[in-house]
Amino acid sequence: MKYIDEGRIEGLLAEAGKSGESKIESILSKARTLKRLSLEETAALLAADDTTAVKKIHEAAAYVKNEIYGNRIVLFAPLYFSNYCANTCLYCAFQSGNPELKRKYLSADEIREQVEWLLKRGHKRILLVAGESGIPGKSAVDYYIEAVQAAYSARAGNHYIKRVNINCAPLSVDDFKKLKASQIGTFQLFQETYHDATYRKYHIKGPKSDPDNRLDAIDRAFAAGIDDVGIGPLYGLYDYKFETLAMMMHIEHLEKKFNVGPHTISVPRIEPAVGSELSLHPPYQLTDDEFKKLVAVIRLSVPYTGMILTTRETAKMRDDVINLGISQISAESRVSPGGYSDNEKADGQFTTSDRRSLEELVSMLIDHNYIPSFCAACYRRERTGESFMNLAKPGLIKGMCSVNALVTFKEYLDDFASPAVKEAGYKLIARETAKLNAKSKEQVSRLFSAIDAGMRDEYV
């Protein structure tokens, strides 16, 4: 598989087990300066299994996350608009030929209906997701663009979606250019597994059976001008330490070639899926402790990259892991086309575990002193790609994000929250505003006044 040196990864992991306490301490000291870790350093942290060492890794990850992103958590919802797929991936319900899956794709009007449902709940950011296939009479890219345009056109009073990200099939450079022109935010594509033999074993039919084409798709997206990309393995197909190091090797390739790495990293674990026996018995199932450690290690290895945690995980696991480096979480997810309005009559891609509503998640975040954020300002201020990284790497993005998070949070509280959540939320806003510097306080005061006057979608 291109860019992925499996022999080197195995060698790094073999040597990593020899790292002593002083080596781990040195690596964590470097991480606390917000510097990117090397493959060797990342391997050493992945190999650490002493209780004391793991605790220190967790503490360092929490520190780094707060230094870069502060105590805000961005909220979004996935919107599945088609479960038709040309691929046979043995862990996925969408696999072609699955007789147990009910198929459905959404029209532009149906997509708007789904988005309006989300808007009425308070959502402002969505991730469009589709199986890797077009629909009758349309090419895949034309259907994706239609979905993006439908999502942006939806309205619920004076509310609309601020940012549409998309997880879809790999495209050509020309088609990626068309997709970019539709004003997408982040293009997300998971390699699933970076281990070549494992990839070929579990992706047995369709365009996705070519691992190099999938890996090259991220390069093609960059070449087309899409500078915000999201990547990640599907944990459970192969050894998590190998997958994490291989992903870091992929990131090194992107940084060398395009001078910027991924905007986000996701950490999905395999969950049960209709018609997939493999999903019920993942070949490399992670323990919860291993999962917590890998989240922390990724945060330390690439401190400036956003990390996404989905509703695949249980409510308790999500609550526990957020502090270890997560900066974005999905809320009240439905993983089937039409799932938000028809109670998932079509089958989903996998089984979700955390089914709390958006307000319940907002309430949880308030209780843990996190600022729920619905911000998309960086995308609209063209703080993307290298521009974003130049602010994120030294921790300069934190101030802007804190102001915008508070503003979007107030909008949510004013328009959607129950009285109890409003009361708790306003108290959190008061506490967080008091921590800001004079300039940020002035910005917050000015923007809050605009919100009180009826304005919406204010940001710096």
Q: Is the pLDDT confidence value at 379 over 60? A: no
Question: What DSSP state is assigned to residue 194?
Answer: -
Amino acid at 213: N
pLDDT for the residue numbered 399: 56
Residues 154 and 160: beta-carbon distance below 8 Å: yes
- Among 329, 335, 336, smallest CA distance to 371 is for 329
pLDDT tens, 391-430? 556 655 555 688 999 999 999 999 999 999 999 999 999 9
Residues 23, 17: Cα–Cα separation, whole Å: 11
pLDDT tens, 285-333? 999 999 999 999 999 999 999 999 999 999 999 999 999 999 999 999 9
Residues 70 and 402: beta-carbon distance below 8 Å: yes
pLDDT tens, 405-414? 999 999 999 9
Higher pLDDT, 354 or 342: 354
pLDDT for the residue numbered 290: 98
pLDDT tens, 244-262? 999 999 999 999 999 999 9
Residues 244, 286: Cα–Cα separation, whole Å: 13
% of the chain surpassing 90 pLDDT:
86
What are residue 264's DSSP bridge partners?
A: 230, 306
Quickly count: other Cβ atoms within 10 Å of residue 126's Cβ. Answer: 27
Residues 83 and 326: beta-carbon distance below 8 Å: no
Alpha carbon distances (Å) from 207 to 4, 100, 195, 200, 457: 20, 22, 18, 12, 40
The phi, psi pair for 328, rounded to 5°, reads -140, 140
Task: Give burial (CB, 10 Å; 0-12/13-18/19+) of 156.
Answer: middle
Residues 205, 207: Cα–Cα separation, whole Å: 7
Provide the pLDDT confidence category of residue 335 given band limits of 50, 70 and 90: very high
pLDDT tens, 41-60? 999 999 999 999 999 999 99
Residues 226 and 264: beta-carbon distance below 8 Å: no
Residues 371 and 409: beta-carbon distance below 8 Å: yes
Q: What are the structure tokens assigned to 371, written together?
A: 């600022």
Mean of pLDDT over the chain: 93
- Among 302, 357, 262, 267, smallest CA distance to 36 is for 302
pLDDT tens, 265-298? 999 999 999 999 999 999 999 999 999 999 999 9
User: Is the dihedral angle over the CA atoms 360, 361, 366, 372 positive or is it negative?
Assistant: negative
Provide the pLDDT confidence category of residue 109 given band limits of 50, 70 and 90: very high
% of the chain surpassing 70 pLDDT:
93
pLDDT for the residue numbered 449: 95
Q: Is the pLDDT confidence value at 381 over 60? A: no
CB neighbours of 442 closer than 8 A, spacing ≥ 6? none
Give the pTM: 0.94
Higher pLDDT, 459 or 165: 165
pLDDT for the residue numbered 228: 93
Of 210-219, 228-237, 274-283, 390-399, give the lowest mean pLDDT range: 390-399
Three-state DSSP string of 280-305: HCCCCCCCHHHHHHHHHHHHHHCCCC
- Among 59, 69, 75, 25, smallest CA distance to 324 is for 59
pLDDT tens, 123-181? 999 999 999 987 888 899 999 999 999 999 999 999 999 999 999 999 999 999 999 99
Alpha carbon distances (Å) from 184 to 162, 164, 168, 266, 397: 10, 6, 12, 18, 21
